[in-house]
Amino acid sequence: MGTPIPLPIMPGDLTAIGPLLAVVIAAAGFLAVDMAFTREELKNRWTFIIGIIGAALAAVTALMLDIGTGESRLILGEALYADLYTVFFDLLFALLMGASLVLSWTAVERARMKPVEFYSLAAFSFAGMFLTSRAADLLSLFLAIELLSMPLYVLAGFATTSKTGREAALKYFVLGSVASAILLFGIALMYGGTGSIDYVELGAQVSSGGRDSPLVLAGLALILAGLAFKVGAVPFHMWTPDVYEGSPTAVTALMATGVKAAGLAAAIRFLAGPMAAALSYVSVMLWWIVALSMVVGNAGAMLQSNVKRLLAYSSIAHAGYILMGLLGDSLGTAAAVYYTAVYVLSVAGAFGVVQYFGDGDRELETVDDFNGAAKRHPWISLLFTIFLLSLAGIPPTGGFVAKFFVFGSAIQTGHIGLALLGVLTSVIGIYYYLRLVIAMWMKDEGRPVLAELSPTSWVVLGLLAASVLALGCMPGWLWLIVQSAVVSLV
Amino acid sequence: MLTTAIFYVLSFVCILAALMTVTLSNPVSCALSLILCLACLAGLYAQLAAGYVAVLQILIYAGAIMVLFLFVVMLLNLSDEEAAEGRYDVIRGLKGLICFAFLVDLYVLVEVSLGGRIYGCPAPGLGSLEAIGELLFTRYMVSFEVISLLLTAAVVGVVLITRKGPASALAAGRGGSS
Amino acid sequence: MNIEYIAGIIKAVTIPVMALNSIPLLVWMERRGSAFIQNRHGPNRANIGPITLFGLLHPFADAIKCVFKEPFRPTKAHPIFYPLAPALVVVPALLTLAVVPLADHIFLMGAEIPMSVAELEYGIVYMFAVSSISVLGITLAGWASNNKFSLMGGLRSTAQMISYELSLGLSIFGALLVYGSLNPNEIARLQGETFFGVIPAWGVLMQPLGFLLFLIAAFAEANRNPFDLPEGESELVAGYHTEYGGMKFSMFMMGEYVAMVTLSALTVTLFFGGWQVPWVTTEALQATVGQPLRVLCQFLAFAGKTLFFCWLFIWVRWTLPRFRYDQLMRLGWKVILPLSIVNVFVTALVLLGLGWMKGTL
Return d(Cα A433, Cα A350) in angstroms, integer. 11
Residue C360 forms contact with A (CB below 8 Å) = yes
Chain B contact present for C158, CB below 8 A: yes
Residues of chain C in contact with residue B129, where contact means CB-CB under 8 angstroms, are 121-122, 182
What is residue A372's DSSP assignment? T
Candidates A1, A75, A150, partner chain B, best to mutate (most B CBs within 10 A): A150
Q: Which of B106-120, C99-113, C167-181, C261-275 is least confident?
A: B106-120
Of C202, C210, C124, C219, which Cα lies nearest the Cα of C174?
C210
CA-based torsion, A382, A386, A387, A393: positive or negative: positive
Res. B39: pLDDT tops 80 = yes
Q: Are C274 and C175 in contact (CB under 8 A)?
A: no
The answer to whether the Cβ–Cβ distance between B63 and C165 falls below 8 Å is yes
- Kindly report the average pLDDT of chain C as a whole number: 83
User: Helix, strand, or coil here: A387?
Assistant: helix
- The pLDDT assigned to C108 comes to 78
Kindly determine whether residue A158 and residue B149, on different chains, have CB atoms separated by under 8 Å.
Answer: no
For B118-150, write each residue's pLDDT tens digit.
666 666 677 778 888 888 888 888 999 999 999
Smallest CA–CA distance, residue C360 to chain A, in Å, is: 8
Q: How far apart are CA C89 and CA C158, in angstroms?
A: 13
Say yes or no: B116 and B38 in one domain: yes
Nearest to C339 by CA among C151, C160, C166, C88: C166
Average pLDDT score over residue span B24-42? 87
Which of C35, C223, C250 is CA-nearest to residue C138?
Answer: C223
Number of C-beta neighbours around residue C173 at 10 A: 18
Other Cβ atoms within 10 Å of C154 Cβ, number? 30
Residue C272: predicted pLDDT: 86
Q: What is the mean pLDDT of residues A403-425?
A: 90
Contact by Cβ (8 Å): C302, C268: yes
Cβ-proximal residues to C258 (8 Å cutoff; 6+ apart), any chain: C19, C20, C22, C23, C90, C93, C94, C97
Q: Which of A219, A214, A216, A189 is nearest to A205 (CA)?
A: A216
Q: CA C149: distance to chain centroid?
A: 27
Smallest Cβ–Cβ distance between C132 and the set B51, B59, B71 belongs to: B59
User: What is the identity of the amino acid at A417?
Assistant: G
Mean of pLDDT values over A231-240: 88
Q: Is residue B118 part of a domain?
A: yes
- The stretch C345-351 carries a mean pLDDT of 90
CB B34 within 8 A of CB B17: yes
Q: How confident is residue C205, by pLDDT bands cut at 50, 70 and 90?
A: confident
| A234 and B CB contact within 8 Å | no
B177: which chain A residues are within 8 Å (Cβ-Cβ)?
Answer: 112, 114, 159
**What's residue B118's pLDDT?**
62
* Whether the predicted pLDDT of A208 surpasses 60: yes
The reported pLDDT for the residue numbered B167 is 46
When CB atoms are compared, the residue of B114, B143, B149 closest to A127 is B149
Model pLDDT, residue C361: 54
Query: What pLDDT does C230 receive?
Result: 66
- What's the CA gap between A175 and A163, in Å, rounded? 18
Taking the Cβ of residue C145 and every Cβ of chain B, the question of whether any pair is shorter than 8 Å is answered with: no
Comparing CA positions, the residue from A199, A194, A348 lying closest to residue A277 is A199
Pairwise CB contact (< 8 Å): C125 & B66? no
pLDDT at position B166: 45
Q: How far A372 CA lies from chain B's nearest CA (Å)? A: 30
The pLDDT tens digits for A419-446 are: 999 999 999 889 999 988 888 888 877 7
Residue in chain C closest to B26 (alpha carbons) equals C78
Percentage of the residues of chain A whose pLDDT score is greater than 70: 98
Which residue, among B80, B41, B47, has the nearest Cα to B62 in the 3D structure?
Answer: B41
Q: CB–CB of C156/B87 below 8 Å?
A: no
User: C73 by DSSP, 3-state: which?
Assistant: coil
CA-to-CA distance for C203 and A379, rounded, in angstroms? 73
Above 50 in pLDDT, residue A92? yes
Comparing C343 with C45, the larger pLDDT belongs to: C343
Residues 6+ away with beta carbon under 8 Å from A297? A234, A237, A313, A314, A315, A316, A317, A318, A319, A320, A425
How far apart are alpha carbons C276 and C301 in whole angstroms? Answer: 7
Per the model's pLDDT, the better-predicted residue between A240 and C361 turns out to be A240
How does residue B11 score in pLDDT terms, banded at 50, 70 and 90?
very high
Q: Which pLDDT value is given to residue B173?
A: 41
Q: Are B106 and B162 in the same domain?
A: no
Check whether B67 has a pLDDT greater than 50: yes
In chain B, what residues touch C126 (CB-CB under 8 Å)? Answer: 55
Q: Is C361 part of the contact surface with chain A (CB cutoff 8 Å)?
A: yes
Percentage of residues of chain C with pLDDT beyond 90: 3
Confidence of residue A279 (pLDDT cuts 50, 70, 90): confident
Q: Report the residue of chain A nearest B165, measured CA to CA.
A: A158
Q: Provide mean pLDDT across the span B69-75.
A: 81
CB A134 within 8 A of CB A86: yes
- C360–A4 C-beta distance less than 8 A: yes
Where does the pLDDT of residue C287 fall: very low under 50, low under 70, confident under 90, or very high at 90 and above? confident
Are A139 and B143 an interchain contact pair (Cβ–Cβ within 8 Å)? yes
A285-288 LR contacts (CB < 8 Å, sep 24+):
A285/A221, A285/A224, A286/A224, A286/A323, A286/A326, A286/A327, A287/A327, A287/A415, A287/A418
pLDDT class for B172, splitting at 50, 70, 90?
A: very low
A383-397 average pLDDT score: 90
What is the arithmetic mean of pLDDT over B16-37? 87
Instruction: Tell me which of A20-34, B102-116, C63-77, C301-315 is least confident.
Output: B102-116
ipTM entry: 0.87
Q: Let me know if A199 is exposed, middle or buried by CB neighbors in 10 A (0-12, 13-18, 19+).
A: buried
- Percent share of chain B, pLDDT over 90: 19
State how far the Cα of A341 lies from the Cα of A482, in Å rounded to an integer: 10
Does residue B169 surpass a pLDDT of 50? no
A264-282 b/e (C-beta count within 10 Å ≥ 16 → b): bbbbbbbbbbbbbbbbebb
Question: Would B91 be classed as within a structural domain?
Answer: yes
- Are B145 and B63 in the same domain? no
SS3 A328: coil
Asked which of B108-112, C5-9, C26-30, C132-136 is least confident by mean pLDDT, the reply is: B108-112
Residues linked to residue A450 through DSSP beta bridges, in sequence order: A357
Write out pLDDT tens, residues A326-338: 888 888 899 999 9
Of C325, C324, C5, C333, nearest in space to C164 by CA: C333
Name the neighbours of B, counting chains with at least 3 Cβ pairs within 8 A: A, C
The per-residue pLDDT for A3 is: 66
Mean pLDDT of chain B: 79
Q: Are residues B23 and B109 in the same domain?
A: yes
Helix-helix angle C246-271:C291-317, to 10 degrees: 120
Can you tell me the distance from the alpha carbon of A244 to that of C106, in angstroms, rounded to the nearest whole number?
A: 69
pLDDT of A139 reads 92
CB contact residues (below 8 A), chain C span 152-181, against chain A: 180
In this prediction, residue B177 carries a pLDDT of 37
Q: Give the length of chain C.
A: 361
Residues facing A80 on adjacent strands: A75, A135
C96 min Cα distance to partner chain A (Å): 26
Q: How many domains does chain B have?
A: 2
Burial A120-139 (b: 16+ CB within 10 A, else e): bbbbbbbbbbbbbbbbbbbb
Domain of B176 in residue numbering reads as: 140-178
* Residues B141, A146: C-beta atoms closer than 8 Å: no
Which amino acid makes up residue A342?
V
Residues B118 and B144 placed together within one structural domain of the fold: no
Q: Which of residues 145-164 of A touch B (CB under 8 A)?
A: 146-147, 150-151, 153-154, 158-161
CA angle B56, C221, C38 (to 5 degrees): 160
A195: closest chain B residue by CA: B119
Q: What is the DSSP string of A89-114?
A: HHHHHHHHHHHHHHHSHHHHHHTT--
Is the predicted pLDDT of residue B38 greater than 80, yes or no?
Answer: yes
CB contact under 8 A, A151 and B153: yes
Strand partners, A82: A73
What is the spatial distance between Cα C95 and Cα A277, in angstroms, rounded to a whole number?
52
Residues β-bridged to residue C113: C106
| Burial B30-68, CB ≥16 within 10 A → b, else e | bbbbbbbbbbbbbbbbbbebbbbbbbbbbbebbbbebbe
Contacts B68 to C, Cβ<8 Å: 162
Instruction: List beta partners, residue A362.
Output: A359
Mean pLDDT of B56-62: 88
Nearest chain A residue (CA) to B172? A161
Cα–Cα dist C339/C332, whole Å: 10
A62 in Cβ contact with A22 (< 8 Å) = no
What's the pLDDT score for residue A2?
Answer: 55
How deeply is C16 buried, as exposed, middle or buried, from its count of CB atoms within 10 A (0-12, 13-18, 19+)? middle
Residue partners of B106: CB distance under 8 A and separation at least 6: none
Determine whether the interchain pair B55/C154 forms a contact, defined as Cβ–Cβ distance below 8 Å. Answer: no
Does any CB of chain B come closer than 8 Å to the CB of residue C140?
Answer: yes
CA–CA distance, A309 with C12 (Å, rounded to integer):
67
Which domain covers residue C250, as residue numbers? 3-360
Reported confidence tier of residue B77, pLDDT bands at 50, 70, 90: low
What was the pLDDT predicted at C80? 83
Q: From chain B, pick out residues whose CB is under 8 angstroms from the CB of A161.
A: 168, 171-172
Same domain, B22 and B77: yes
At residue C108, the 3 state secondary structure works out as strand
- Over residues A128-179, the pLDDT tens digits come to 999 999 898 999 999 999 999 999 998 888 777 778 888 888 899 999 999 9
Confidence of residue B117 (pLDDT cuts 50, 70, 90): low
Contact C139, B66 (CB under 8 A): no
Report which of residues A224 and C134 the model is more confident about.
A224
Interface touch B113/A131, C-beta < 8 Å: no
Q: Among all residues of chain A, which has the CA nearest to that of C355?
A: A4
Beta-ladder partners of A135: A80
Tell me, what's the pLDDT at C134? 83
Number of domains in chain C: 1
Q: Are residues B28 and B116 in the same domain?
A: yes
Name, of B1-10, B159-168, C156-165, the range with top average pLDDT.
Answer: B1-10
Count Cα atoms within 13 angstroms, Cβ side, for A423: 11
Does one domain contain both B88 and B58? yes
A66-77 residues labelled b (16+ CB within 10 A) or e (exposed)? ebeeeebbbbbb
Tell me how many residue pairs between chain A and chain B have CB atoms under 8 A apart: 103
Using a CB–CB cutoff of 8 Å, tell me whether C2 touches chain A.
no
Please report the pLDDT score of residue B175 as a whole number: 38
Contact C4, C111 (CB under 8 A): yes
